[in-house]
Chain A
Amino acid sequence: MTGKLNVSNAVAALMCAALMLLPLYSAVTGNIFILTLFTRIVIFALAAASLNLIMGYGGMMSFGHAAYLGIGGYAVGILAAEGIGSGFIQWPVALAVSALFALLIGALSLRTRGVYFIMITLAFAQMAYYIASALSRYGGDDGLTVYKRSDFAGLINLSDRNQFYYLCLACLFGGLYLIWRIVNSRFGLVVQGVRSNEQRMQAIGFHANRYRLVCFVISGTICGLAGALLANNTDFVSPAVMYWTRSGDLMVMVILGGMGSLFGPVIGAIVYLLLEELLSQFTEYSGLILGPVLLLIVLFARGGIMGLLGRMRRG
């Protein structure tokens, strides 16, 4: 994000322009499917971007990030089921609960490092998964249908395809802007400093874990927002959203796109979900191709797609 004209920045700019113009294309061609597909992609891009904040910049490999998707979604779904349909209540609650959950598990998980951190975040996400499965009042294993999307007092109509898409896109761009500001702030530099050398940061007087924890909470909150959007998008929320393979999907998006680059996770989400969708159109067995593709990317394209683009830098 230095404003230099290079391949990665050009791709990022093109991608943003394409995302903004997509409803126009959909309206002209009458292709509604692509709009619904990209609404989903944009939401997952936001979730992946939030994971990138702690993984790429903070060096915290959370393997339980999908928990926030579920928590944000259940906050919306449960409030809706209890007759509170206003988005002005639902969404702040979704964010607050996600933040609280992140604070709680972050405070405990950050005592560990490396693989142990990966596993403990996974454990907490699995707990959230089982709690959701046991909520028999709210559908239990089968999930909870959200009969009415969040109501924003006429300001914006979430049931309108285009308006909802732009809302999601605005959340994505807002989230990316926030992450960009964080990463370049003093706070963000400390977090990145802790990633590269914790002892040194401690030695010059920073409470490494405190910075880490705040970063962890911010990331969880952003992902909770993605969860609220996702519940509105699918009109449904189920424990499956929090299952560990979902967290794996998010991780894959981040690594595929390029960890520690602002637009990497967005590209990762687009490529991963598009690939999944395209493959599923001409074969039932998309994993037979997608799996080896992931393997090949790891083997031959370090740094993900953004890393590849960065190597074709023009100057």
Chain B
Amino acid sequence: MYLVVEQLLNGLQFGLLLFLLAAGLTLVFGIMDFVNLAHGSLYMMGAYFAATFVAWTGSFVLGALMALGATLLLGIALEYVALRHLYGRDHLDQVLATFGLILFFNDAVRLIWGPAGLALPLPAWLTVPVQIIPGVYYPAYRLMIIVVALAVAAMLYLVVMRTRIGMLIRAGASNREMIGALGINIKLLFTLVFGLGAALAGLAGLMQAPILTVQIGMGENILILAFVIIVIGGIGSIRGAFMAAIFVGIIDTMGRAFLPDLLRKVLSGAAASTAAPALSSMLIYLLMAIILVLRPEGLFPAARR
């Protein structure tokens, strides 16, 4: 029972992290109609920046904040120099260009930080386990991820639903040309949205960094998961991304934790130990394939463009 609670929390934490990544992706996708494969690279850069700045400043919080700012600036610079010229182009052109950016970032990181991974050590106050319900302890850091991600999600909701900028973002998602025609500085809006997405990706990267190693290519795996989420959730829908991210996070974590035991009850030991890892890794893709076959527009499609 305790194990289930713990794994549920792990799933929630992973899902919220994925949401941070997917939110930026779905915003950029929904508003600029831009497929950004390099989103995973921004996640990686966030982690590398954090590892560097935390080592420099000696403070986890300060380093993380600096890393967040650095990823934001990097995202804005990237949009300004290269990506804004790709809006309105074919999706394939965008895939090719941003695929090139992945190659660039991976080797740039190798050049600057070297091929070996980095570690981002946690400060002592984040390593203690916290008792959440009697008898169940949970790492404080993972709890912090959940709290921060939920706060960011709430903030994002408020910004998008309750502010003028958010109104423009939503308007941009449903009809780009129209808000341009109404005199909104659409270039600036796009740059802002891209920067916001980059910062969210960087935040996800730097929060994940202490749990995993900071390494080259860390963005590629998780990028695909983020794409799965925005496709399941319906492209351009932040609410959909939120639901889908938590759904995917929990299913993935629970699958990895409990599927081997479940299979062992049905299959023989050898067959189960072969099938379980494959099945638990595939679970999400299977889920996405089923959802796309049944509902080709995703679960929560954004308003028609």
Is A251's CB under 8 angstroms from B95's CB?
Answer: yes
List which B43-79 residues lie within 8 A (CB) of chain A. Answer: none
Say if the beta carbon of A203 comes within 8 Å of chain B: no
A287 contacts the other chain (CB 8 A): yes
Contact assessment for B97 and A298 in the assembled complex, using a CB-CB cutoff below 8 Å: yes
Q: Measured between C-beta atoms, what is the minimum distance from B277 to chain A in Å?
A: 5
Interface hits, B263-305 → A, CB 8 Å: 273-275, 277-278, 281-282, 285-286, 288-289, 292-293, 296-298
**A291–B107 touching, CB < 8 Å:** yes
Report the number of A-B residue pairs with Cβ-Cβ less than 8 Å: 144
Contact A295 B101 (CB under 8 A): yes
Asked if B296 and A112 make an inter-chain contact with CB atoms under 8 angstroms apart, the answer reads: yes
The answer to the question of A113 belonging to the interface, with a C-beta cut-off of 8 Å to chain B, is yes
Residue in B closest to A55 when the chains form the complex, CB atoms: B92
Contact of B289 among A113, A124, A256, A293 (CB under 8 A): A124
* Least CB distance, B209 to chain A, in whole angstroms: 22
Give Cα A137–Cα B274 distance, bound, in whole angstroms. Answer: 9
Majority SS at the chain A contact face: helix
Q: Which of A251-304 touch B at CB < 8 Å? A: 251-252, 255-256, 259, 284-288, 290-295, 297-299, 302
A36 contacts which chain B residues (CB < 8 A)?
none
Chain A proximity of B106: nearest CB distance (Å) = 6
In the complex, what's the smallest C-beta–C-beta distance from B170 to chain A, in angstroms?
20
Q: Looking at the complex, which of A26-34, A128-136, A159-167 is the stretch in contact with chain B? A: A128-136
Whether A133 lies near B228 (C-beta < 8 A) is no
Check B282–A127 contact: CB distance below 8 A: yes
User: A127 and B91 in contact (CB under 8 A), knowing A290-B100, A294-B100?
Assistant: no
Chain A CB within 8 A of B111 CB: yes
CB <8 Å contact, B96 and A298:
yes
A residues 93-149 near B (Cβ < 8 Å) are: 108, 111-116, 118-120, 122-124, 126-127, 130-131, 133-137
B130 contacts the other chain (CB 8 A) = no
User: Is A295 a contact of B97 with CB atoms below 8 Å?
Assistant: yes
Cβ of A294: which chain B residues have Cβ within 8 Å of it?
96-97, 99-100, 103
Q: Which residues of B contact A115 (CB under 8 A)?
A: 29, 35, 91, 231, 235
8 A Cβ contacts from B141-197 to A:
none
Decide if A284 touches B289 in the complex (CB within 8 Å): no
B6 on the interface (CB 8 Å rule)? no
Interface residue tally of chain B, by bracket?
35 or more
What is the size category of the interface that chain A forms with chain B? 35 or more
A252, A288, A292: the one contacting B99 at CB < 8 Å is A252
Contact A136-B100, Cβ < 8 Å, known A123-B285, A251-B95, A298-B93: no
Question: Does B224 lie at the interface of the complex (its beta carbon under 8 Å from any beta carbon of A)?
Answer: yes
Q: A194 in the interface, Cβ–Cβ < 8 Å?
A: no
Q: Are the CB atoms of A286 and B107 closer together than 8 Å?
A: yes
Q: Are A108 and B293 in contact (CB under 8 A)?
A: yes
CB-CB < 8 A to A297: which residues of B?
96
A244 at the interface (CB under 8 A from B): yes
Answer whether residue A193 sits at the interface, using C-beta atoms and an 8 A cutoff. Answer: no
Is A61 an interface position by the 8 A CB rule? yes
B292 adjacent to A116 (CB under 8 Å): yes
Residues of chain B from 204 to 257 with CB closer than 8 A to chain A in the complex: 220, 224, 227-228, 231, 235
Asked, given contacts A252-B99, A298-B97, whether A120 binds B288 with beta carbons under 8 Å apart, the answer is yes
Q: Write 9 A-B pairs (CB below 8 A) sorted by A numbering.
A: A63-B95, A111-B293, A112-B292, A133-B277, A136-B274, A255-B93, A285-B107, A286-B103, A298-B86
- 20 more CB-based (< 8 A) A-B contacts, given A123-B289, A293-B100: A108-B292, A111-B292, A112-B292, A116-B298, A119-B228, A120-B289, A130-B281, A133-B277, A134-B277, A136-B273, A255-B93, A285-B108, A288-B107, A291-B101, A291-B105, A294-B97, A295-B100, A295-B104, A298-B94, A299-B85
A interface list, Cβ under 8 A from B = 55, 61, 63, 108, 111-116, 118-120, 122-124, 126-127, 130-131, 133-137, 244-245, 248, 251-252, 255-256, 259, 284-288, 290-295, 297-299, 302
A-B pairs, top 9 by smallest CB distance, nearest first, are A291-B104, A294-B100, A134-B278, A287-B107, A287-B103, A291-B103, A130-B281, A285-B107, A123-B285
